A and B are shown apart, each in its own frame.
Chain A
């Protein structure tokens, strides 16, 4: 059986969610910070999901303009959502492979380590025995470290819950953190601390 993505979440709506969640954060003067991270307002870069991600700004340590907060939370959460989608939700199940591409936003050294954990960091271990994946919950909360009004680092606290059907039928929860810094102007995962549980 093949799971088909339904375009429940347009990129613009995720951006709107981010903006709403940040609405009360700041009354500071706005001056945009250049941020070349993947933009979720670019539909070609944004995944379409069956569940609406709940994106929030967590702790912003240091000063950032309201506009920058929105852009950075959007960019960082976008990296996290794209990873989670590619690792656990996307693709045609029973899925035979292609999971390494989920690590596209990981720093090279981290991706090398992560490839050894692919069974935990993706559905690689169960994908051939799964007919369908149905997401139930996806949340991302973004902490930001800002120095001299520029975002230097961020932590995406993620939680994903989905159900699988087929030979492997279970409820899976993925939870933890993706730590990111910028490389070549893009947010990149340099460390992860994730747990996956199933029942």
Chain B
């Protein structure tokens, strides 16, 4: 958990330079459900250690005027942050995963958001992976685009060129590429032209998350950067979480060590139910990911 500040290294070229970071995110009260960033556990919550927080990040395809907390999530990532070690893990859930939804039989996983809002969605994904999220964050894609633009764009390592006739006619090239807000949205949503379909899309979403984290971490020492970011969230998202809690979460993200980020996508098999294409997720694999990362946000090999 040591970091070296380049500036200080320059200032003290002969120095032994050691840096340390640390933080904690304390519990607070349970929040109402009709918001876009929801805390699912309170001070009396079970199994929330001092060090690890789990956030279910959801990109909503809700149209303007639609309630995004009752829409269908297009991008679904369960993200764990270890505030003590700086480790982070992302477990990607393909949108079309067919799973049990409490009180609603079985359906695509993203239907849980439509049926029961962030609370039910969090529980549904939590039951699949075996890790219950502490927070569920739902964002609309336009806000996501604005956020990426606000931090100056992001860089991703793209393993293959791909395009989409509607979202991105000119292909994303292979390699280390920069994305602005719109491009990051397209990079996260394109599915049909990817060989692995929903699985590859989920992996691309994780590349975008890495890019966002790296940008935030790089700029977090700039005066007022985190403060402005939290204010932007407060203005653009419906949330009644305390600003101080958002501030703490933002710092939890900023203090992740990029060398300690791991990400996996829950695999599965394609199928059809009622004429609709779905994915039967590999539940054993999902649980294995959850077991590996639950306590320390450290995933092993996928």
Q: Is there contact, CB below 8 Å, between B18 and A195?
A: yes
Query: Among B11, B224, B248, which residue has its beta carbon within 8 angstroms of that of A191?
Result: B248
Q: Quick one: given A62-B231, A192-B21, are A109 and B50 in contact (CB under 8 Å)?
A: yes
B223: A residues at CB distance < 8 A: 58-59, 141, 143, 155, 157
Q: Is there contact, CB below 8 Å, between B24 and A109?
A: yes
Q: Quick one: given A117-B22, A195-B18, are A181 and B244 in contact (CB under 8 Å)?
A: yes
Q: Is there contact, CB below 8 Å, between A108 and B20?
A: no
Minimum distance in angstroms from B30 CB to a CB of chain A: 18
Q: How far is the CA of A122 from the CA of B93 in the complex (A)?
A: 44
Q: Is A196 an interface residue (CB 8 A)?
A: yes
Q: Is B44 an interface residue (CB 8 A)?
A: no
Q: Is A73 an interface residue (CB 8 A)?
A: no
Q: Is there contact, CB below 8 Å, between B20 and A194?
A: yes
Minimum distance in angstroms from A81 CB to a CB of chain B: 19
Q: Is B221 an interface residue (CB 8 A)?
A: yes
Query: Among A112, A113, A179, which residue has its beta carbon within 8 angstroms of that of B247?
Result: A179
Q: Is A90 an interface residue (CB 8 A)?
A: no
Q: Is there contact, CB below 8 Å, between B231 and A114?
A: no
Minimum distance in angstroms from A56 CB to a CB of chain B: 10
Q: Quick one: given A61-B224, A120-B20, are A152 and B5 in contact (CB under 8 Å)?
A: no
Minimum distance in angstroms from B249 CB to a CB of chain A: 11
Q: Is there contact, CB below 8 Å, between A144 and B221?
A: no
Q: Is A166 an interface residue (CB 8 A)?
A: no
* CB closest chain-B residue, reference A188: B26
Q: Is A197 an interface residue (CB 8 A)?
A: yes
Q: Is there contact, CB below 8 Å, between A145 and B227?
A: yes
Q: Is there contact, CB below 8 Å, between A173 and B251?
A: no
Minimum distance in angstroms from A145 CB to a CB of chain B: 4
The B-contacting residues of A in range 180-197, CB under 8 angstroms, are 181-183, 190-197
Minimum distance in angstroms from A123 CB to a CB of chain B: 13
Q: How far is the CA of A5 from the CA of B1 in the complex (A)?
A: 34
Query: Among B12, B15, B23, B51, which residue has its beta carbon within 8 angstroms of that of A179?
Result: B23
Q: Is B234 an interface residue (CB 8 A)?
A: yes
Minimum distance in angstroms from A184 CB to a CB of chain B: 11
Query: Among B3, B14, B16, B247, which residue has its beta carbon within 8 angstroms of that of A193?
Result: B3
Query: Among A110, A113, A121, A147, which residue has its beta carbon within 8 angstroms of that of B243?
Result: A147
Q: Is there contact, CB below 8 Å, between A191 and B50?
A: no
Q: Quick one: given A58-B223, A143-B227, are A198 and B15 in contact (CB under 8 Å)?
A: yes
Q: Is B160 an interface residue (CB 8 A)?
A: no
Q: Is B255 an interface residue (CB 8 A)?
A: yes
- Interface 1/0 per residue, A138-157 and B, CB below 8 Å: 00010111010000110101
The A-contacting residues of B in range 1-43, CB under 8 angstroms, are 1, 3-5, 7-9, 11-12, 14-26
Q: Is there contact, CB below 8 Å, between B25 and A190?
A: yes
Q: Is there contact, CB below 8 Å, between B4 and A195?
A: yes
Q: Please name 18 pairs of A and B residues whose Cβ atoms are closer than 8 Å in the assembled complex, sorted by A.
A: A109-B24, A112-B50, A113-B84, A120-B19, A145-B226, A152-B242, A152-B247, A153-B227, A153-B248, A179-B226, A190-B24, A193-B20, A195-B4, A196-B17, A196-B18, A198-B12, A198-B16, A199-B12
Q: Enumerate chain B interface residues (CB-CB to A < 8 A).
A: 1, 3-5, 7-9, 11-12, 14-26, 50-51, 83-84, 220-221, 223-224, 226-228, 230-231, 234, 242-244, 247-248, 251, 255
Contacts A58-B223, A153-B230 known; 5 new A-B pairs at CB < 8 A: A141-B223, A152-B242, A153-B243, A155-B226, A193-B21
